[in-house]
Structure 1
Amino acid sequence: MSKKLWGGRFEKETDALVEKFTSSIDFDKKLYNQDIIGSIAHARMLAKCGIISKEDAALIIKGLVEIKIEIEEGNFEFTSKLEDIHMHIENRLSEKIGPVAGKLHTARSRNDQVALDMHLYVKEKTVQVVRLLEHFCGALWKLAEKHVDTVMPGYTHLQKAQPVTLGYHLKAYYYMLERDKERFCDALKRTDIMPLGACALAGTTLPTDKEYTRELLGFSRIYENTMDAVSDRDFVLEFLSCASILMVHLSRMAEEIILWNTDEFNYMELDDAFATGSSIMPQKKNPDIAELVRGKSGRVFGDLISMLTIMKGLPLAYNRDMQEDKEALFDAAETICACLEILPKVLLTAKFKKENMAEAVENSFADATYYAEYLVKKGMPFRKAHEVVGKMVSYCIKKDKKIKDLSFLELKNFSELFAEDAARGFGSTEKYNKSNYIPTSHF
Structure 2
Amino acid sequence: MAWNCRQIWAHVYLDLPLLVQLFFFVRPLHGTPISPGTSETSITYTNMINSVLEGYDARLRPHYAGKALRVGVTVDVSSFDHFSDTNMEYNLTFYMHQYWTDYRLQHTSTLNQNLTLHGANVDVIWVPDTYFVNAKRSLFHTVTTENRVVYINTSGGVTYILRVSAALACNMNFDTYPMDVQKCELQVGSHGYSARDLVYYWKDGLDSVEGFSNSYLPYFSIHNRTITETSDEYAYLYFSFELHRKVAYFMIHTFIPPILIVILSWVSFWVDHRSVAARVTLGITTVLSMTNIIMNDPTTTLPKVSYSKAIDVYLIWCFMFVFAAFLECAAVTYNCYYWELRLQIPSGPDGKPLEPPDEPQEMEEAKPNGNASSRHNDARQKSGKTIFRRNLERLSQRRKPAKQYNAVKDTFSRKVLYGHTAPIDRYARVFFPVAFLILNIAYWNLYLR
TM-score band by shorter chain is under 0.3
TM-score by length of 1: 0.21
Larger radius of gyration: 2
Greater share of residues in strand: 2
Greater share of residues in helix: 1
